Amino acid sequence: MSPDGAMWTLLPMLCLLSGATWAATLSGLQDAVLELKKFQDVANVSTFLLDRSTSTLLLGARDAILAVDTERLDQEPKVVGRIIWDVPEAKRRACVAKRKTKVDCNNYVRLLEFLGDGRVYVCGTYAFDPQCAFLELSSFTLETTEGEGVKMETGKGKCPFEPSQHYTAVMAAGTLYTAAASNFLGTLFDISRGTGAEQERIRTERSINWLSDPEFVSSAFIQQSASSNPTGDDDKIYFFFTEVAKEYDLYTKVKVPRVARVCKSDVGGMKTLQRRWTTFLKAQLVCEDKPSGQRYNILTDVFTTEHTPGDPSSTHFYGLFTSQWERDELSAVCVFSLSDISKVMDGPFKELKKTSDWTHPEPVPTPRPGQCLNKALKDEGFDSSLKLPDKVLTFVRDHPLMDNSVTAAPLLVRKGIRYTKLAVTQTGSGDERRGAVLHLGTDRGELHQVAVVGENATFLQELSLFTSQEPVNNILLHRGRALVGSPLSLARVQAEGCALYSSCAVCARARGLGCVWSTGEDACRRTTAEPGPGDIVDNALRKCDVAEGRCNPSMRELRVSVGLPLLLPCVQLSPRSCSWEHPPHRHTRQHHSDLQVTVTEDSLGEYICTCQEAGPGSRDPTPCRRAAYQLTLEGPIAGGTVAEAGGRHIVASYIFMFLMGLVLGAFLLHFVMRRCSVARQGHHLPDNSLSSDKGRDLLGSSATAQSPSSASLLSDGFRLTEKRNGTATTNTTTTLFSNQGNGSPHGNSFGGALIHSNPGNGHGNSLYANCNTNSGDLQFVANLLDGRTGERPEVIERKFGERDEVDEGLGDVIKGPEEELARFPNFKLPAPLALCEESSI
């Protein structure tokens, strides 16, 4: 069998196996994935709104609003309703005339909020002219006017103009508060009260001291409870965003994350700050690992939760961050408490003097600028912001920034991956609260679950829900499940409970959450027993049938060749630093927590990665060994788990024989066609007929393009590809054993893997992972664990060239055999060795 035949024979088997594994994983958790495009091509879903009483999920999409029964996703999906809300053709043409793309000139529904009277307030971009309408839940229709048209009102300041603009909104006691761009060009931004009485619709001041090119992320309404609010303080709305900092005098634009606060009863000032916020204050959020000095300054998402249900004062904000200064993918999670934010808002103000030095402004007038109304202010006669003195309003207009920052250390740092959305599940209750589970959506359609107990984070599992082109853009938690959305799909997965951890090793990693493995039931169960002293994860892992613990990895032997570049992974969940022990040589460079090594005779030996983590019951860091490798020179391995050179040469011989047959066949065809032509012309053709125009037409022209099969089979046919979630991307360099930021806390297992250098494939290096060639048939042996989950086979793919295609006029494009053979790189370089096809299981 030819190599092409073997490849095409095995591909359906691999796809079938990968699909079966994915389906089995979902069915085991009673999860479901729904492709929304089945519903009359619903696409570009960006907004979720859940009716928790009926489990009905509203989805805002392009030109449509969809309602889905989330309890029936695993059955035939029940669509409660579907509304088409598109843009008239004339308005669409006018939008395109303003140099906007035809795709953007649709109506992208970006806002869905309950009004509290059985209606939903919906807003869409409406071809760069934002409009809002009212949705009747009982009939699931949009309210109409007497002319049978949709009843609409302007959405400027409530909804973005452009589909991709950053935006946030929150409904507070029936009143909408938004943060969005307020003009067509997207150069003006407002935080405003968008609904209610016209005289109470106020917004931010148009000043860079208030908002400086912001990217809005999230918002939250914190309603004070009577029992925890003895001072009668007003309810507050918090906005989270990233903006360009004005307090840093640098050549580049420095972005900083901010939290801003306004008060619910604020109606603006009488003369100063008319129809403007009088309580707008903002402070910087600092997510920084102080030991390493790494700071994460781009805010991506915020999840708001009460650590004690029913107590607003226990509210915490979990922020998802990345870094402006890192070129590689990077994500971090920090948590900020409401009490810390309140302390900063009650602290000193920051002021820029003419000397370009930021100082504390003195004196601060009374009553305190930016203060929300409370009982004390009302007793003094300030029962409305309209009665505040001008000096107070002038001060808050010029000093919206607080001097102190709200600081926190990262709970989790992942390098080599980008998280897009975050949701948090608290485990336990009250004083028995054990920790939290972070549900993190990636830009590759995955959902990661990470347990955070004390100062340590433990990676639990990864679920591949969508394709790699579908980033997770929504996560809602409901009844112990997570509703996860992408622009094209909707998934429901288990989010709470020990039962979702299907193996002893994963259950052991969740020991800090109150889970324990029951050998009798062969399942993970919840327990109220407190874990013993020491490392609770390691203690739990020792009870499982595993060879290593979290801080005691087994040694992986890597067989390498001299000159091979390697990237040895060391999975770092903690923000604390990692260090490597290795033979003393200069051919290494640490890349984040991973180690780059160029193999020489001096670099052979043991490589051990040790990370700092928090000790049991202590905040002091303790060393935890995370990875161990043994580099040895390539040699024969018993057991036949690695492809032998002879097998690779057999496949190379097949390729060579196939090409020679193709060339000889083409030469023979050309020779026969030439003889037939001479016979047809008889004896009237002169001896020098090949030089005549008539004879030249029978030859292949040198200007004619060669058949794509000849060049691509050898030059492009053996390019190393990397596959993420089913999508292969070709790389020009080889990265070996790299799971940067994507591994499980236990590292990866490389059971006697052979790494081979092949300079003849055009890329310098190749990785051959347990691939045997026997009698021309490719055999795939999955001994490598997946770099992200630590539980699935390694995903390694070698891409063969395109299938050969022979044109009907082959004789017109084939040259002489000597010239054609000279074009082939295989006659100049060593023959390429047999390559392993990637398995996605």
Scan for tokens 């009483």, then name that residue.
Answer: 53
Cα dist from 716 to 70, 569, 758, 799, whole Å: 47, 29, 15, 9
The average pLDDT across 119-146 equals: 93
DSSP 13-38: HHHHHHHHHHHHHHHHTT-EEEEGGG
Contact 658, 2 (CB under 8 A): yes
As a whole number, the mean pLDDT across the chain is 74
Is it the case that residue 839 has pLDDT exceeding 70?
no
State mean pLDDT over 367-395.
92
Range with top average pLDDT, 571-575, 649-653, 757-761, 821-825:
571-575
Q: In what order do the strands lie in the sheet with 64-69?
A: 47-51, 56-61, 64-69, 79-84
> Considering only CA atoms, which of 156, 60, 68 is closest in space to residue 108?
60
The structure tokens listed for 137 are 């839940």
Q: How far apart are CA 262 and CA 371, in angstroms?
A: 9
pLDDT at 720: 31
Would the pLDDT of 791 be above 50? Answer: no
pLDDT at residue 500, as a whole number: 83
The residue type of 207 is: S
pLDDT attached to residue 344: 96
Is pLDDT above 70 for 834? no
pLDDT of residue 387: 92
Measure the CA–CA gap between 594 and 581, rounded to whole angstroms: 12
15-24, 168-177, 597-606, 678-687: which has the minimum mean pLDDT?
15-24
SS3 419: strand
Residue 28: closest CA among 725, 524, 451: 524
Query: Mean per-residue pLDDT for 553-571?
Result: 85
Tokens encoding 128: 């760069």
pLDDT score for 296:
93
CATH number of 556-633: 2.60.40.10, 3.40.50.300, 3.20.20.70, 1.20.950.20? 2.60.40.10
Q: Which of residues 336 and 631 earns the better pLDDT score? A: 336
Tell me the range of 58-67, 799-808, 826-835 where mean pLDDT is highest.
58-67
Whether the per-residue pLDDT at 374 is higher than 70: the answer is yes
pLDDT band at 13 (very low <50, low <70, confident <90, very high): very low
Q: What is the mean pLDDT of residues 75-99?
A: 86
Res. 774: pLDDT tops 50? no
Residues 6 or more apart in contact with residue 97 via CB below 8 angstroms: none
pLDDT at 769 > cutoff 70: no
Question: Can you list the pairs that 668-671 forms with residues at least 24 positions away whose Cβ atoms lie under 8 Å?
Answer: 669/810, 669/811, 669/814, 670/700, 670/811, 670/814
Q: Are 837 and 14 in contact (CB under 8 A)?
A: yes
In sign, the C-alpha dihedral spanning 70, 76, 78, 83 is positive
Predicted local confidence at residue 75, as pLDDT: 63
pLDDT of residue 553: 79
The model scores a pTM over 0.85:
no
| Angstrom distance (rounded) from CA 559 to CA 712 | 31
Provide mean pLDDT across the span 186-212: 92
The 3-state DSSP class for residue 337 equals strand
- Give a three-class secondary structure readout of 559-598: EECCCCEEEECCCCCCCCCEEEECCCCCCEEEECCEEEEE
Answer yes or no: is pLDDT of 653 > 70. Answer: no
Residues 83, 141 contacting (CB under 8 angstroms)? yes
Segment 243-281, tens digit of pLDDT: 998 887 667 788 999 999 999 999 999 999 999 999 999
The residue among 90 and 794 whose pLDDT is bigger is 90
3-state secondary structure of 108: strand
Averaged pLDDT for residues 522-543: 77
CB-CB contact of 824 with 659 (8 Å): yes
Residues in the chain: 841
6 vs 610, residue with greater confidence: 610
Question: Helices 708-715 and 645-681 meet at what angle, rounded to 10?
Answer: 160
Give every CB contact of residue 823 below 8 A, 6+ residues apart in sequence.
Answer: 706, 710, 711
For residue 352, pLDDT beyond 80 = no
Task: Identify whether the C-beta of residue 515 lies closer than 8 Å to the C-beta of residue 499.
Answer: no
The per-residue pLDDT for 431 is 54
**Which tops the pLDDT comparison, 268 or 821?**
268
105 pLDDT band (50/70/90 cuts)?
Answer: very high
pLDDT at residue 684 tops 50: no
Structure tokens at 679: 């016979």
Question: What is the model's pLDDT at position 582?
Answer: 86
Confidence of residue 41 (pLDDT cuts 50, 70, 90): confident
| Residue in 235, 226, 320 with CA at minimum distance from that of residue 279 | 235
| pLDDT value, residue 784 | 32
**How much is the CA Rg of the chain, to the nearest whole Å?**
33
d(CA 153, CA 131): 6
Between 330 and 671, name the one with better pLDDT. 330
Among 45-54, 541-550, 728-737, the least confident range: 728-737
d(C-alpha 336, C-alpha 344), whole Å: 12
- Residue 780: pLDDT band (50, 70, 90) is very low
| pLDDT in the model for residue 714 | 27
Per-residue pLDDT at 252: 75
pLDDT the model gives residue 146: 80
d(CA 609, CA 592): 12
Domain boundaries, the chain: 3-12+641-827, 32-53+430-501+503-546, 556-633
CB-based burial label for 477 (10 Å; 0-12, 13-18, 19+) = middle
SS percent in the chain: helix, strand, coil, step 5? 20, 35, 45
Closest CA relative to residue 581, chosen from 556, 557, 607: 607
User: pLDDT class for 40, splitting at 50, 70, 90?
Assistant: low
Q: Is the pLDDT of residue 452 over 50?
A: yes
Beta strands in 634-680 (DSSP E): none
Q: Which two tokens stand for residue 157?
A: 């300041």
Please give the full DSSP string across 352-417, using - where no structure is assigned.
E-TTS-EE--SPPPSSPTTPPP-HHHHHTT--SGGGS-HHHHHHHHH--EEEEEEEE--SEEEES-
pLDDT at 16 (0 to 100): 35
Q: 577 with 770: CB under 8 angstroms?
A: no
pLDDT confidence of residue 545: 67
Higher confidence at residue 452 or residue 642?
452
State the pLDDT at residue 766.
32
Contact assessment for residue 791 and residue 744, using Cβ atoms and an 8 Å cutoff: yes
Mean pLDDT, residues 737-766 taken together: 38
The arrangement of strands across the sheet holding 720-724 comes to 727-730, 720-724, 797-798
Q: Which residue has the higher pLDDT, 78 or 766?
A: 78
Closest C-alpha among 119, 116, 126, 118 to residue 154: 126
pLDDT for 818 beyond 50: no
Classified as helix, coil or strand, 3 is helix
